[in-house]
Amino acid sequence: MERDGNRHKTFARRAALLAGGKLTLAALLMGRMYYLQVLESDQYQMLAEENRISMRLLAPPRGLVIDRFGRELASNRQNYRVVLIAEQTNGVAESLDRLARVIPINPHQRRRVLREVKRKRPFVPVKVAENLTWEQFARINVLLPDLPGVQPDVGEGRHYPMGVETAHIVGYVSSVSEAELTGDPLLELPGFRIGKNGIEKVYDESLRGKAGNSRVEVNAYGREIRELARQDGQPGDDVVLTVDAGLQETISRRLSDESAAAVVMDIHQGEILAMVSAPSYDPNAFNLGMSTKAWRALVQHPRKPLINKAISGQYPPGSTFKMIVALAALDAGAAGPGHRVFCNGVVKLGNTKFHCWRHRYGGHGWVDMKQAIAQSCDIYFYDLARRLGVDRIGEMARRFGLGAALGVELVGESNGLVPSKDWKLAVTGVPWQLGETLITGIGQAYLLATPLQLAVMTARLANGGLAVTPKLSRRQGPERLGADGAPAEHPVPPSIGVSAAHLQFIADAMSEVVNGPRGTARKYKLDKDVEFKMAGKTGTAQVRRITKAERKAGGKLAKETPWKERDHALFTAFAPVGAPRYATAVVVEHGGSGTYAAKLTKDIMTAVLRADPLARTALGASRGEDRGGGRKT
């Protein structure tokens, strides 16, 4: 009996402990529920909402690139495209077969779509084709009931209205590569494109704009149910260039058959009015998608259409450099304007003969400095170079912008080269030779310059010795303009420290080149209806050593010489004479003679003076335009 009583007490204790445990657990559970549902309710409600609501980035409209008068050089236009949603098809392959009867679908596109469908969820749209014509897009919409899973879509794509004519300036956009990802989520948007070259690359971040966002409701699988709210992105900033698109177009067409470069600039402000490199390429091809075959053709083209020769091409300046040698002699007091040299066509230095281009005709006879420039007498400049030495010549060349990049707003600008004794010793380990000084005096030897540098050199010669630098964009947007179309308030460039009298003498000598009776470019003076005169300087730059037989034959063997072995043709010029405003430099690769470049320059400068872009009011770009339907796209 006592044993039963003890057993009952033990059972009662255990039941009490179990009940107490249950109550404790119940209390803990209730406390936890109270904590989660009351105290932390806001946080978990927010997390639940985040699972239901998906925030998606929206790509903003890219800013425009426009010329000085408001003409669009890079714009945006509707991109008609078609996507495929796998779960809505009766079979992806069958839907592609049906779609292929409406628009062209090549095997590469088909393989890509099938690959992406396997990789993505069945409700995620996969791009099939883009940049469709309106007719193709309309045909898809009409036949949509017979195309299960196919969905037409309208996006925005980049367009270059002038195509090849502004390709090297404006550049192009293309898809973001893995190496270009910076953590910016905008770069990870499907189909997003960034600037890869030209102005598009230099000002890419400001052209991009700021992303918008869309709040959409999704189910547990991430499928979109409906859009709840939308905030469109902020368009990128427009970039206003100093270029005159009409002038650019004219020069581009004039050089279309050449491997050449031309630069036209304002000698006072440094604004580049035209910059042409020929041949060129179509930047729209990069945006639309370029085949491997087309890319290989561009890369392997012997005349290098992808290279902007105006800033990247480096050429011996030839006789266009003789003005620098003359100024160095005047500045150093080594020779004056009246200094005369007798040219019989050849001069000897040790056992080496240095010829004048006119050696077959017995030379130029007695010439002073002005006539030496006008007739491009090599013997005269051999004499000046010997008196000066290469380092004094180089010092003057650097004042005029040669030998270093000028900082133009493009990628790939070359430095050129102005040699010195120390440079040669450091690079080759061999001391400088006097014969190399003589060759430097006529713009050959190690000297190299870009067409842009030659244009800047000419601008500084014509503007009174001011260190003007090239400008390609007006980053301040609309500006208050003066009567001549230039910004009313513009800092005056510093002086390069060359005598005004010496500069005027050189300008007169350059005028004699074109307008004098014995000038090397006398056949290419401007026509009378232009009402202005042009001053300039021819240059012929050798690309290889000329043999004795070729020297005797003169131009008779020129037609038989392979294109790549022919001399480069150069011409630098400014106009109008007396009141200069424009400077230009033209380089024709393997053009044969500086007179050929002078012929092209005559046409270019005629177009410049007739258009006279500095006399017209530059429109700039107004950011007050309607960014919606009222704005051109």
What region, left, alpha or beta, does residue 624 occupy, with left being phi > 0 and alpha being psi -120 to 50 degrees? alpha
Q: Please, are residues 239 and 219 in contact by the beta-carbon 8 Å criterion?
A: no
Are 175 and 193 within 8 A, CB to CB? yes
d(CA 306, CA 294): 12
Report the distance separating Cα 453 and Cα 399, nearest Å. 11
CA distance 242 to 169: 11
- Omega before 279 within 30 of 0, i.e. cis: yes
The dihedral over CA atoms of 238, 244, 247, 251, expressed in degrees to the nearest 10, equals -60
Between strands 341-343 and 365-367, the pairing is antiparallel
Tokens of 177: 């590569």
Q: How many C-beta neighbours within 10 Å does residue 266 have? A: 23
Element (H, E) at 228: strand 224-231
Q: Where are the beta strands (DSSP E) in 363-431?
A: 365-367
Report cis status (omega within 30 of 0) of the bond before 478.
no
Q: Which of 319, 420, 473, 511 is catalytic?
A: 319
Query: Catalytic residue at 277?
Result: no
Question: Which amino acid makes up residue 24?
Answer: T
CB-CB contact of 408 with 242 (8 Å): no
- Could you give the CA distance from residue 211 to residue 288 in angstroms, rounded to a whole number? 23
Tokens of 465: 């010795």
- How far apart (Å, rounded) are the C-alpha atoms in residues 314 and 452? 10
Q: How far is CA 64 from its chain centroid?
A: 15
- Residues with a known catalytic role: 319
